[in-house]
Amino acid sequence: MSASAQTVPSVTPWPEGVVARFVTVGGALVDVSHDMHLIVDTEPNLSIARCGGAGCDATHNEEWRDYSYRVDNGSSGADREASKWAQSHAEQCRALPLPTA
């Protein structure tokens, strides 16, 4: 394999609720999903980006209410901002994927 060739991760179904996915430099995944801000909330109202790399606990939250002036409930604006953070994090994070077995 040449030095310029890149390994492409295998395509597997995304976990339920994941709306965007990024691969870190080390090969771990950063997922953007919807969650609830408070335990008493009954509907998702938060977009959260989480790095799944070994030893990396980086996360970023965007509350939908900050974007609710838009046509939708604010989820698309929050998803966009969480995805920007996830992309930036993935470009720099060297965490390896967690072992599967």
Q: Which domain holds residue 25?
A: 18-92
Q: Give a yes or no: residue 1 inside a domain.
A: no
SS3 content of the chain, % helix, strand, coil (to 5): 20, 25, 50
Give how many domains the chain has, as a whole number.
1
In a domain, 98, yes or no: no
Tell me whether residue 44 is in a domain.
yes
State the pLDDT at residue 7: 61
Task: Kindly report, residue by residue over 19-40, the tens digit of the pLDDT.
Answer: 999 999 999 999 999 998 887 8
User: Residue 42 carries which side chain, given as an amino acid letter?
Assistant: T
pLDDT at 8 over 80: no
> Any alpha helices (H) in 58-97, and if so which ranges?
75-92
pLDDT of residue 74: 87
Confidence band, pLDDT 50/70/90 cuts, at residue 1? very low
Whether residue 10 is predicted with pLDDT greater than 80 in this model: the reply is no
Residue 9 lies in a domain: no
Establish if 67 belongs to a structural domain. yes
